[in-house]
Structure 1
Amino acid sequence: MTESEHPDNTQPATCCYHEDEGFSCHEVALASGLCYWHDPRVVKNKPDDKAKLEAFARSGGMLRGISLKNADLEGIDLVKHHSKTGFDMSHAELYRANLQGAHMFNLNLEHASLMKADLREANIHCANLGNTNLLGVKLNGARIENIYTGKRLKQERMALHAEKVGEMEIALDYYEQSEEIYRNLRKTADREGLFAMAGHFIRKELVMRRHQMRRWSWERMISKSIDLFCGYGEAPLRVIGFSMALIFVCAVCYFFTGLSYDGNEHVFSLSQSFSQNVMLFLNCIYYSVVTFTTLGYGDFTPVGVSRAIAAIEAFTGSFTIALFVVVFVKKMNR
């Protein structure tokens, strides 16, 4: 942000708010050099501020970077009617703003701060909250369908950067904040019946909790394994993927360690023809599926090292199938 030169006394000075992206405000400046809406020292809690801000937005005024810290704007209507895009309030400061019952459909709040803002019963459907500070925001009863929070929260990005440069104490603090935000979003989604969204947020919440655990600890490794295996119970397709991978890997092991059929041992050999080895591998796939599902038809039997592989696969398979049923039923019940 840069200070503009004040023109002569015959013309009022314009607001000096400016962004590197090229956005500038051209409203009349106050003594501070900023206009009424961009001046952070002016608290917008007068009785007519809500109507004035609505009129300012609809007249094409610049909403990017406006300061609404501690503003009382209960029930304000900031919906850009008859338009596919909403008003742009990027970089806006809404710390502790009272926005109860506000209409903020499709509003762009990217890089803004909603820290401790009161959004109870507000409509923020389709709002862009990418890289927005959502710490402590009150969302009871808020409509949050199709909100966009980005791949990572603002605090999550800062935590990853702090961890990368070795500032672990700072990183842990940001991970803790991220966990709190995801928990808040998850609870709100649950109350609103948005169970798919809630499932995404609970997974992110648990990932943030994992990052706070001591590196290379058993607790953290187990948590990571559960995430990879089933997405903390929110990704049943991962269980299927793991099952297919295990069946294939075990089939390869049987291919080289051998199986017994009709009293004869069948194992890969370069002396066999290509077609014979292909048929053997297909039989190994078949046996691996039968073993994984614990059907055990008995036509093929393991020999030597294959016995240990078959025992591990059967145990893992029975556990995996049971887990898939639990995860799948959980998702369907939602």
Structure 2
Amino acid sequence: MSEQTKNCKYQDPDGATCLEQSNASGFCYWHDKTVDKSSSSVKVALETYAKKGGLLRGIILQRANLSGIDLVNHGSKTGYDFSYADFYRADLSNGHLFNINLSGASLMKANLANANLNCATLEKTNLLGAKWTQTKIENIQFGKKLKQEDQAKQALRDHDHASAIDYFEQAEEIYRDLRKHAEREGIFSLAGQFIHRELTMRRMQLPPLSLKRLTSKIIDLFCGYGENPVRIILLSIILIIICAVLYALSGLNYQDQLYVMSFEKSVAENCHIFLSCLYYSVVTFTTLGYGDFTPIGFSRAIAAMEAFTGSFTIALFVVVFVKKMTR
């Protein structure tokens, strides 16, 4: 038999291959999903295999008893690469997993209680049902999206709305579990990111043209579900500028003189009018109401809308800002 046929036939999506000797199934011990790895000897064997430089990507460790395992790549700045590995229902409690790479792996229903996952990479990792009791998660790289989010969007492209809703529900559950754990650990900035994603996943489950979904989207754009006070400031500035343009086009009254932009006036005059309208827009938005400028015609409706929106926005900003600062 040639050397090539003796090698494990595992190949992951990134093209990595395993050079370990294969068994009857064509896969090596670590990549063979038919091999039971629940025995207590697996932990020591895995530590030894990792230290000797074996391919850890895509290994199958379903239901493995790895409690207290040390998978820290000591003496190296990069951690062990367990991309695409399967830890379904594995016991990783009290494990030392610092700086480990679990991109594309499955930690579905894995026990991570008291494990050290600081600086780990969990991009596109299946985290559904994982147990996070007292798990250390500082500086973890979760990526921009969960695996379930990509699956949900693919299901929508395939017009499989039932599957899409199911994936969005899974993503919401994962973000909710992560948010609760981040709050318990006192990592409130991370908890804020998770609650934003959690509520986004909840919105995606609503009917596309429903009022609830539209309202949820507006709240997200306006303040990021209460987690982004900077977004309120940016939208306020945009609203002030838009209203200033409308005032300049519809006109304001100042000491019986009409301030309105037109093509007949010079650039300098139009700039002066716009700056005056911008000043009035700021005064109206903040509800100061000095009274030096007064709206006329259509400008009255604009001023009323801006004053109402401004008072609401300022109050909202205070609430969101205080919420962020008191965490």
**CA positional deviation for 1:12:** 10
In structure 1, the partner of 2:58 is: 65
Query: What is the TM-score when the length of structure 1 is the normalising length?
Result: 0.95
In structure 2, the partner of 1:23 is: 16
In structure 1, the partner of 2:140 is: 147
Out of 306, 311, 319, the residue aligned to residue 326 of structure 1 is: 319
Q: What secondary structure sits across from 2:27 in the alignment?
A: coil
**CA positional deviation for 1:295:** 0.3
Structure 1's unaligned 5+ residue stretches are 1-5
**CA positional deviation for 1:14:** 3.1
In structure 2, the partner of 1:95 is: 88
Q: CA RMSD in A?
A: 1.5
What are the residue-to-residue correspondences of 1:32-111 with 2, within 5 Å?
Answer: 32-111=25-104
Distance between the aligned counterparts of 1:33 and 1:215, measured in 2? 47
Distance between the aligned counterparts of 2:21 and 2:316, measured in 1? 64
Is 1:253 aligned with 2:246?
yes
In structure 2, the partner of 1:175 is: 168
**One-letter amino acid of the counterpart of residue 148, structure 1:** Q
Distance between the aligned counterparts of 2:273 and 2:60, measured in 1? 72
In structure 2, the partner of 1:203 is: 196
Residues 20 and 216 of structure 1: CA distance in aligned 2, closer, same or farther (over 3 Å): closer
Q: What secondary structure sits across from 2:128 in the alignment?
A: coil
Out of 313, 316, 320, the residue aligned to residue 309 of structure 2 is: 316
In structure 1, the partner of 2:230 is: 237
In structure 2, the partner of 1:214 is: 207
**One-letter amino acid of the counterpart of residue 308, structure 2:** F
Out of 285, 289, 304, the residue aligned to residue 282 of structure 2 is: 289
Distance between the aligned counterparts of 2:8 and 2:248, measured in 1? 76
Q: Residue deviations 1:150-209, cap 9 Å, x none?
A: 111000001011112211111001000000011111111111111010000100000000
**One-letter amino acid of the counterpart of residue 165, structure 1:** D
**CA positional deviation for 1:116:** 0.5
Structure 2's unaligned 5+ residue stretches are none
Residues 20 and 144 of structure 1: CA distance in aligned 2, closer, same or farther (over 3 Å): closer
Moved more, 202-211 or 141-150: 141-150
**One-letter amino acid of the counterpart of residue 157, structure 2:** K
**CA positional deviation for 1:20:** 5.4
Distance between the aligned counterparts of 2:29 and 2:153, measured in 1? 37
**One-letter amino acid of the counterpart of residue 159, structure 1:** A
Query: What is the TM-score when the length of structure 2 is the normalising length?
Result: 0.97
Is 1:190 aligned with 2:219?
no
Is 1:265 aligned with 2:277?
no
Alpha-carbon contact 2:12-2:84 (below 8 Å) kept: no
Distance between the aligned counterparts of 1:174 and 1:21, measured in 2? 24
Residues 12 and 280 of structure 1: CA distance in aligned 2, closer, same or farther (over 3 Å): closer
Distance between the aligned counterparts of 2:270 and 2:239, measured in 1? 21
Is 1:121 aligned with 2:117?
no
**One-letter amino acid of the counterpart of residue 89, structure 1:** F
Distance between the aligned counterparts of 2:279 and 2:160, measured in 1? 52
Alpha-carbon contact 2:20-2:28 (below 8 Å) kept: yes
Distance between the aligned counterparts of 1:221 and 1:192, measured in 2? 33
**CA positional deviation for 1:285:** 0.3
**One-letter amino acid of the counterpart of residue 248, structure 1:** I
In structure 1, the partner of 2:158 is: 165
Alpha-carbon contact 2:12-2:57 (below 8 Å) kept: no
Q: What secondary structure sits across from 2:19 in the alignment?
A: coil
In structure 1, the partner of 2:271 is: 278
Moved more, 284-293 or 261-270: 261-270
Distance between the aligned counterparts of 1:241 and 1:274, measured in 2? 28
Distance between the aligned counterparts of 2:169 and 2:29, measured in 1? 36
**One-letter amino acid of the counterpart of residue 18, structure 1:** Q
Moved more, 138-147 or 25-34: 25-34
Distance between the aligned counterparts of 2:32 and 2:130, measured in 1? 23
Distance between the aligned counterparts of 2:256 and 2:13, measured in 1? 79
Residues 210 and 247 of structure 1: CA distance in aligned 2, closer, same or farther (over 3 Å): same
Q: What secondary structure sits across from 2:258 in the alignment?
A: strand
**One-letter amino acid of the counterpart of residue 73, structure 1:** L
Number of equivalences: 327
Q: Percent identity between the aligned chains?
A: 57
In structure 2, the partner of 1:3 is: none
